A and B are shown apart, each in its own frame.
Chain A
């Protein structure tokens, strides 16, 4: 099987940050509950994903054949992701810190334990379910967005599976949040990559033949990287209207 390595890399990096976030919440639930009920939330998700992924993929292709709306939606998500990471890099959104997220989630769950011991199993299952569902859905969307074009689904899926497996194995091995993963820098790179791929594919959908074919993605990535860096510098500067 021939894999498209740019797609594998983009899917791996994007999925890695989502899997790390899900792992942090699950570890917090395990820490508080240490219960077997956690498995119910997790197993339900595992059953949901293959179905939802297949359904979404079919629906995505169908939409794409008839109109640009679905493509625009994914394209918008890529750019929105990049914008969010620019704000984060500029210090205007709190940096994502897995240790802090773990502590916050543990404290929140512990508070619920104190209030209602009887409902704890349900809360633990729901929290684990929510974390894996939402972060997993983001992984599914990444795979769909990257895998729709030119039969790249296998490459995108391989990247996502590798990332999720790596995080799962690391989580099982060390039982601690993966705070050393440079998550914020990775997210910025992923935002740039997704935006570049989005522009390239949106152009192809509009019938534009890019010079250099797929190599144009590198040029788009550099443009988005430059725009992102300039925006970070501008966003960090104090607003002169506010100071005057």
Chain B
């Protein structure tokens, strides 16, 4: 049951740092979209480019961490 609860919580937040970084990108996009409504594509570019960059950086960080501790099992 403990494992089940852990997996259930993991469905929502698996990586807190990635969650925070995505919130940062979304927050910045929201800020730009509301501050500069005449150029909505600026906010769109931040969102569309920021997310893959954040994802790549986070994944590479996780890869470095995994290389240190060895190959693990499934996260998802």
Contacts and interface: CB of A to CB of B under 8 A. Distances in A.
Contacts of A199: 47-48, 51
B73 A83 contact: no
Contacts of A72: 22-23, 26
Given A87-B63, A133-B4, A137-B8, A227 B55 contact: yes
Contacts of B68: 242
B45 to A, nearest CB: 9
Contact of A206 (B30, B64, B71): B30
Interface string B1-23: 10110011001111100110011
Interface residues on B, range: 35 or more
B interface secondary structure, majority: helix
Given A83-B15, A84-B75, A133-B4, A68 B33 contact: no
A16 interface: no
A178 to B, nearest CB: 17
A94 B71 contact: yes
Interface in A78-108: 79-84, 86-87, 90-94, 96
Contacts of B63: 87, 90, 92, 234-235
Given A84-B75, A234-B60, A76 B22 contact: yes
B73 A93 contact: yes
Nearest to B1: A126
A174 interface: no
A181 interface: no
A80 B26 contact: no
Contacts of B54: 79
B48 A203 contact: yes
Interface stretch (A34-42, A58-66, A154-162, A207-215): A207-215
A231 B30 contact: no
21 contacts: A73-B12, A77-B12, A79-B22, A83-B55, A90-B63, A93-B72, A126-B1, A134-B8, A195-B51, A203-B29, A203-B43, A206-B33, A208-B29, A208-B44, A220-B48, A223-B48, A223-B52, A227-B55, A231-B55, A231-B59, A234-B56
Interface of B: 1, 3-4, 7-8, 11-15, 18-19, 22-23, 26, 29-30, 33, 37, 40-41, 43-44, 47-49, 51-56, 58-60, 62-64, 66-68, 71-76
Interface of A: 68, 72-73, 75-77, 79-84, 86-87, 90-94, 96, 126, 130, 133-134, 137-138, 141, 195, 198-199, 202-203, 206-211, 220, 223-224, 226-228, 230-231, 234-235, 239, 242
